[in-house]
Amino acid sequence: MSNKSDDEGLASSVARALGLNRSQTQSGSSNRTHARRPTSLVPPRQPPLPKLSEWSTPAVPDSVWSSMDFMLGVGMVIIQENTHKIVVVYEKEKKYCFFPRGRKDVGESLEQAALREAYEESGYRASFMPHWAPHLAPFPPSDPEANYRATTEAIAITLLHWSPRTRRVGTRLVEKPGGEYLIHWYLGMIPEDMDREVGTGMPDEQNFESHLLPVDEAIKVLPGQEAKVLQFAWAVYRRTLEINQQIREEEVKQASSAAPTLDDDTGAIRGSTNDDARPNL
């Protein structure tokens, strides 16, 4: 049978193991051997947010949003070939500029929505521009050559939120919660000779008009998020032009080295026919 001093020694040992002070263990002779447990649990510390590239704003905490709290949208940065001008939409009554963008419809892919919104709001039938933007999407194992081709993946995502609002439903006022709006941005293009169509938008979009602006002017008139998207889109566009030029030069070089020629002495055909040579990027 243990004596009182043994019990007190055990209580002290348990208290030290649990990080409790002496006063917490001496709450009466009837419960000296039962250490008091913490009344609340401390949540685990969140890891620090990662540092992102110079083209991005700071990272956001890990989050979960239900379908009633977010919308998926799309937008397109449209560049006119040869002139290198940017399509900017202007709202004549409210007097502000923006890129063509909008919500994805039910059953519609992001790519389909991007082309539709670009046409409805700008009046131009844009197409996707194959580009060489750095990205983190894996290439499919079934297509090993994909690494050597440009892509039409989204080049950016922006995040907006809307505040709670109250609406009248019959005689009642119903409060609607706020939410998050994620917009996927694509790079598009139009030929220099394409004419803008009018009346392509929804009834509340008839005040829209499109302008072709040099990139510096476009950055000045666009709102902050879209100006930042354009800065990255322009960097991607310039990178794409440079890589495409390198590919063309390499193809000309390979075609020249592969072309058969006549030997000056024998008249025999000579030359390389390496069809598998790829541009060295």
In a domain, 276, yes or no: no
Written as six digits, the tokens of 250 are 């390499």
pLDDT > 50? residue 28: no
Q: Sign of the CA dihedral 242, 244, 249, 253?
A: positive
In a domain, 259, yes or no: no
Query: How many residues in total does the chain contain?
Result: 281
Average pLDDT over residues 250-275: 65
**87 and 204, same domain (yes or no):** yes
Is-above-0.85 flag for pTM?
A: no
For 166, what's the count of Cα atoms within 13 Å in the CB-facing half-sphere? 3
Query: Over the stretch 260-271, which tens digit does the pLDDT of each residue have?
Result: 665 656 555 454
In a domain, 243, yes or no: yes
Phi, psi angles (nearest 5°) of residue 127? -125, 165
Q: How many helices (H) and strands (E) does the chain have?
A: 5, 12
Contact indicator for 155, 131 with CB cutoff of 8 Å: yes
Residue 12: count of CB within 10 angstroms of its CB: 16
The total number of structural domains that make up the chain = 2
At 9 the three-state DSSP class reads helix
**75 and 168, same domain (yes or no):** yes
**90 and 179, same domain (yes or no):** yes
Residue range of the domain that includes 179: 68-137+146-250
In a domain, 267, yes or no: no
DSSP 180: E
Counting Cβ atoms within 10 Å, is residue 156 exposed (0-12), middle (13-18) or buried (19+)? buried
In a domain, 95, yes or no: yes
**102 and 9, same domain (yes or no):** no
Candidates 25, 24, 20, 23; CA nearest to 9 is 25
Q: How far apart are CA 136 and CA 154, in angstroms?
A: 11
- Alpha-carbon 102 to chain mean position: 15
Contact indicator for 90, 208 with CB cutoff of 8 Å: yes
Query: Over the stretch 97-153, which tens digit does the pLDDT of each residue have?
Result: 999 999 999 999 999 999 999 999 999 999 999 999 999 999 999 998 988 899 999
Report the CATH number at residue 116: 3.90.79.10
Query: Over the stretch 202-233, which tens digit does the pLDDT of each residue have?
Result: 988 888 999 999 999 999 999 999 999 999 99
At 103 the three-state DSSP class reads strand
Query: Over the stretch 168-210, which tens digit does the pLDDT of each residue have?
Result: 888 999 898 999 999 999 999 999 999 999 999 898 888 899 9
Query: 277: pLDDT confidence band, cut at 50, 70 and 90?
Result: very low
Contact indicator for 11, 22 with CB cutoff of 8 Å: no
First to last CA, the chain: 83
Percent of the chain with pLDDT over 70: 77
